[in-house]
Amino acid sequence: MNNAVGEVQTILLLGGTSDIGTAIVARAVQPYTRTVVLACRDTAKGEHSAAALRRDGLTVEVVAFDGADTAGHQALIDGVATRHGDIDLAVVAFAALGDPDITRQDAQAAAALTQVDFVGAVSSIVAVGNRLREQGHGSIVVLSSVAGERVRAANPAYGASKAGLDGFCQGYGDWLAEQGARMLVVRPGFVHSAMTDGMKPAPFATTPDKVAEVTVKALRGRRRTVWAPPVLQLVFSALRHLPGPVWRRLPLS
């Protein structure tokens, strides 16, 4: 539970090796934070992330987590709460970009990507939400994407997954607020990270630490949705209304 001055004491990161996720956790850790749990598929890599976070008085645990294993999500969340008490902040940061040259043509590959990025994310959010509702407090940060604002031909399976996830979170977040918990949806643009290594940066490209800075500021300001960088909100307020023929001619689509 948050302490007397509102500092989070237990943080859970689903996607424990995510560059953006670990940057958010690093900024969210406060002097009285006592536990961070990194849940990830590659636990060896997760231990490297944990080593960078550990300090005196802060326990960092690494646990195995598979976004596609929806049947195990609730048990994992409940296990974290059993070991460490209330979850004050959960960050949902796992996702796969996939290879659009494959997912645009291979039905099974497209289904596998959306199983992780949409179905798995929704499952894990509901599992965390169940715990937060039982506690009567807590926050969930969900990494959406500007890719979901208007899905591009460049990667439709990924973009559609983020569009669906963002829409789910808007509705679920409203319902969750009635239960005493809250949700923050983060919409980053292109982020220089391991996921995008080797890709051509889009305009207004940013870094994991900059996304983390915007995210933690929004958490403290009780925001519901935030863009990273913030200028993208203005950019997409125009882009989402472009006629289809114009949109399709843009180099980003």
Domain count, the chain: 1
What is the arithmetic mean of pLDDT over 44-54?
Answer: 95
Contact between residue 153 and residue 248 where contact means Cβ atoms under 8 Å apart: yes
Question: Is residue 4 in some structural domain?
Answer: no
Question: Is residue 231 in some structural domain?
Answer: yes
Question: Is residue 91 in some structural domain?
Answer: yes
- Residue 230's Cβ-count burial label (10 Å; 0-12, 13-18, 19+) is exposed
- Per DSSP, helices labelled H in the chain are 19-28, 43-53, 73-84, 100-103, 107-114, 121-135, 156-177, 208-220, 231-239, 244-249
| Tens digits of residue pLDDT in 97-123 | 999 999 999 999 999 999 999 999 999
| Tens digits of residue pLDDT in 10-19 | 999 999 999 9
Give the residue numbers annotated as catalytic, written as ranges.
Answer: 158
Question: Is residue 5 in some structural domain?
Answer: no
Residue 162's pLDDT is 97
The closest alpha carbon to 100, from 166, 151, 42, belongs to: 151
Which phi and psi (to 5°) does residue 237 adopt? -65, -25
Q: What is the CATH number of the domain that holds 183?
A: 3.40.50.720
Question: Is residue 120 in some structural domain?
Answer: yes
| pLDDT higher than 80, residue 1 | no
- Of 72-76, 121-125, 247-251, the range with the lowest mean pLDDT is 247-251
Residue 6's pLDDT is 58
Question: Is residue 3 in some structural domain?
Answer: no
| Tens digits of residue pLDDT in 177-213 | 998 999 999 999 989 887 887 778 888 889 999 999 9
- The domain in which residue 58 lies consists of 10-249
| Tens digits of residue pLDDT in 77-96 | 999 999 999 999 999 999 99
The dihedral built from the CA positions of residue 10, 92, 144 and 45, taken in this order, carries a sign that is positive
Question: Is residue 42 in some structural domain?
Answer: yes
